[in-house]
Structure 1
Amino acid sequence: MARLTKAQREWRPGMPKKRRSTKVMFASTVLVLEGFVAFFATLAVFGLRRDEFPPALILSAGIGLSLVLVLTCAVLSKPWGVGLGWILQLILIFAGFIEPMMFVVGILFAVAWWYGIRTGIRIDREAGQREREQAEWEAAHPEDQSN
């Protein structure tokens, strides 16, 4: 027997679908892409610098960072989730001290993160305003509702 999620258990016919956050979607996209970049950067550092750093340290730190980047997507809707994302942006930039090209990659991803958060907030705000206006119109014009 399949277990239902909380949302599935609470659903009733006629309930409006909860709108997903564009900010969370944009931020998640950036974090997943950064996770892939961190993984491949780990492989590059492993191949180029394994004489300078212990290979186990390179692999564990790099794969760990990749996993944290991807798993952070799950907490982006929490108040502290975006703050954690900003900390991860700094870590990715500071990876440039190990592999200098990561300064460029990290800064470019930080710009993409900032833009995704800023644009997502604006889109979410506009969508919320449209929903409120639609609800007001529907309340003022019940005769126009055809079901």
Structure 2
Amino acid sequence: MRTLCSSTLIGEFFVIGFAGLVAMKSEDLSQGTVWTVCGIAMALCVLLCGMLGRPGAIQLGWVLQAGLILSGFVVPAMFILGIAFAALWWCSIHYGRQIDATKARWAAQAQAAEGEAQAG
């Protein structure tokens, strides 16, 4: 799960950076505001990559997904990209857990087979 979620977060890191470049062209926002918000969101993406094994990291990732969708009010294309990344986040969690369970089952079967081979 960690690999899939980390890949999604790194992709978001770049999308947020590019969205910041688009948002800079808005006359309603100062560059300082744009890059403060984008910088915090980008830093959160990187920090979450390292925190994925800790409690609350997945929920914090969902908060990031909601923020990404809401950023569509500033850069309209982010509505679509935010929904796409929220779907990727869900898939990363859902299928990542299935992959982890399968790997654990295979490891247990291999260990049991190895134990039988040594005993026999």
Query: TM-score, normalization: structure 1?
Result: 0.78
1:137 to 113, 117, 120: 113
Deviations 1:50-90 (A, max 9, x none): x2112211111112211111221010011211111111111
Larger helix proportion of the pair: 2
Query: What root-mean-square deviation, in Å, do the aligned CA atoms of Structure 1 and Structure 2 show?
Result: 1.2
Amino acid at match of 1:68: L
Equivalent in the alignment of 1:69: 45
Amino acid at match of 1:73: C
After TM superposition, list the pairs within 5 Å mapping 1:82-101 onto structure 2: 82-101=58-77
Identify which range, 53-62 or 34-43, moves more after superposition: 53-62
**Aligned mates of 1:59, 1:136 — CA distance in 2:** 54
Of structures 1 and 2, the larger Rg is shown by: 1
CA apart distance, 1:143: 6.0
- Identity across aligned pairs (percent)? 30
**Aligned mates of 2:38, 2:103 — CA distance in 1:** 38
Equivalent in the alignment of 2:18: 40
Deviations 1:74-109 (A, max 9, x none): 100112111111111111011011111100000001
1:117 to 93, 103, 107: 93
3-state SS in 1 of match to 2:24? helix
Structure 2 unaligned segments of length 5 or more: list them. Answer: none
List 4+ stretches of structure 1 deviating above 3 A: none
**Aligned mates of 2:54, 2:75 — CA distance in 1:** 32
Amino acid at match of 1:75: M
**Aligned mates of 1:139, 1:62 — CA distance in 2:** 53
